[in-house]
């Protein structure tokens, strides 16, 4: 039986946006196309949470909470689009999801996060030390899967991706509370912290299919641009989403002192009015945080940020043109567009 949770999230996205009228159909097609691979993927992910108590409970709190599984699904589709077998890509796809989950466990400790995917963050139930060690458990399992895959170049790619993830996290810590970060400073963080793992997922699928180096690089470019767009939409939803659908309280990034793209764009337009509000919002004033999200300049910036994300997406989709025309390529494009257009 195919695990429903990841597809429920994506299908909800598909059904709630008018421009994605046929998205439910393509999600069903993806599910059918990968019907043999998805249960195996989920088993590997679940097995990775096994370890000394109480680490498994803390890891499962996040891993089995119904994440979208966008990165592993992309890796499997890329493998098939490159003419390979999705089965060979499964260990790498699972590793990507485990690395992503580990970074979330660590991020919640760093950011003192209280919610994740609509549930209490693991640190709130088991404490920071257990949450960090649970993340380490998942990272170890991910590296074991990559090593055992036998896919040429996969381990060096994964290690370089992890270096970029750490670099992005460090850059974000240094930028915390800085309102003059600007668009380029923001993009530097996102390329390391988010986009690098999307790129790795797509390259992993291509590597599993023994694709030529030029094609692996092109698909990595696709993944990076899509990863940037994906993060931008998350940042927009932090300001204008519906809390129970986004999976965390609104203004979470704002309270943590993060300057996201919509905030950077709004500050370019109306710095004088927003800076005083940002100071009090970052000090824990929820009324000030609400006023920031409701400010006309921020609302306009959210529209601009969505447009920026769509341009990144279209630029990334050019990388798919290196693939031979096939249904998997079409489904990858449809999946990406549906995610960027989401409102929750």
| pLDDT recorded at residue 310 | 95
The pLDDT value recorded for residue 288 is 81
What pLDDT shows up at residue 66? 67
pLDDT of the residue at 252: 66
Q: Identify whether the C-beta of residue 292 lies closer than 8 Å to the C-beta of residue 277.
A: yes
| Torsion sign, CA atoms 83, 317, 207, 92 | negative
- Residue with tokens 């991020």, as numbered in its chain: 107
pLDDT, averaged per 10 consecutive residues of the chain (344 residues), comes to 45 42 66 92 95 92 82 96 96 97 92 81 90 96 97 98 95 80 87 96 98 96 96 90 48 71 89 85 80 90 95 92 92 90 77
d(Cα 85, Cα 278) in Å, to the nearest integer? Answer: 50
- CA-nearest of 257, 188, 182 to 228 is 188
Which residues are registered as beta bridge partners of 120? 115
pLDDT of residue 213: 96
Residue 26 and residue 337 in contact, taking contact as beta carbons nearer than 8 Å: no
How many domains does the chain fold into? 1
Assign 3-class secondary structure to the chain: CCCCHHHHHHHHHHHCCHHHCCHHHHHHHHHHHCCCHHHHHHHHHHHCCCCCCCHHHHHHHHHCCCCCCHHHHHHHHHHHHCCCCHHHHHHHHHHHHHHHHHHHHHHHHHCCCCEECCEECHHHHHCHHHHHHHHHHHHHHHHHHHHHHCCCCHHHHHHHHHHHHHHHHHHHHHHCCCCCCHHHHHHHHHHHHHHHHHHHHHHHHHHHCCCCHHHHHHHHHHHHHHHHHHHHHHHHHHHHCCHHHHCCCCCHHHHCCCCCHHHHHHHHHHHHHHHHHHHHHHCCCHHHHHHHHHCHHHHHHHHHHHHHHHHHHHHHHHHHHHCCCCHHHHHHHHHHHHHHCCCC
CA dist 344 and 323 (Å) reads: 31
At 25 the pLDDT is 63
- Lookup: tokens for 114: 């209280």
> How many angstroms separate the CA atoms of 78 and 62, rounded?
26
Q: What is the CATH number of the domain that holds 213?
A: 1.10.600.10
Q: What is the pTM of this model?
A: 0.88
Sequence-ordered list of residues with C-beta below 8 angstroms from that of 242, at least 6 positions apart, any chain? 344
Apex CA 98: angle with CA 196 and CA 144, to 5°?
100
Domain enclosing residue 77, as ranges: 5-340
> Rounded to whole angstroms, how far apart are CA atoms 299 and 218?
34
Distances (CA, A) of 143 to 48, 147, 154, 207, 246: 11, 6, 10, 16, 30
């Amino acid at each position: 039986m195919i695990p429903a949770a990841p597809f429920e999230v994506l299908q909800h996205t598909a059904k709630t946006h008018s421009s994605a009228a046929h998205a439910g159909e393509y999600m069903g097609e993806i599910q059918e196309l990968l019907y043999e691979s998805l249960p195996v993927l989920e088993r590997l992910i679940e097995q990775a949470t096994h370890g000394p108590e109480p680490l498994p409970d803390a890891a499962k709190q996040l891993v089995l909470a119904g994440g979208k599984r966008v990165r592993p699904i992309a890796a499997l589709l890329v493998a098939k689009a490159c003419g390979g077998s999705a089965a060979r890509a499964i260990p790498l796809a699972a590793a990507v999801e485990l690395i992503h989950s580990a970074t979330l466990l660590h991020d919640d400790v760093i950011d003192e996060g209280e919610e994740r995917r609509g549930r209490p963050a693991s640190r709130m139930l088991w404490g920071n030390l257990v949450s960090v060690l649970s993340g380490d458990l998942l990272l170890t399992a991910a590296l074991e899967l990559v090593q055992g895959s036998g896919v040429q170049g996969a381990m060096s790619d994964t290690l370089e991706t992890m270096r970029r993830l750490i670099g992005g996290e460090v850059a974000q810590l240094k930028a915390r509370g800085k309102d003059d970060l600007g668009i380029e400073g923001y993009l530097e963080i996102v390329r390391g912290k988010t986009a690098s793992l999307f790129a790795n997922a797509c390259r992993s699928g291509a590597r599993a299919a023994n694709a030529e180096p030029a094609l692996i690089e092109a698909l990595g470019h696709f993944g990076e641009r899509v990863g940037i767009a994906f993060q931008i939409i998350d940042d927009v939803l932090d300001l204008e989403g519906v809390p129970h659908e986004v999976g965390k309280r609104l203004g979470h990034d704002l309270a943590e002192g993060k300057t996201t793209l919509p905030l950077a764009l709004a500050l370019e337009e109306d710095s004088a009015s927003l800076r005083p509000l940002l100071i009090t919002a970052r000090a824990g004033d929820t009324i000030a945080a609400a006023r920031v999200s409701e400010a006309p300049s921020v609302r306009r910036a959210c529209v601009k940020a969505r447009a920026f994300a769509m341009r990144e997406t279209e630029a990334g989709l050019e990388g798919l043109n290196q693939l031979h025309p096939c249904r998997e390529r079409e489904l990858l494009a449809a999946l990406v567009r549906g995610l960027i257009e989401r409102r929750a």
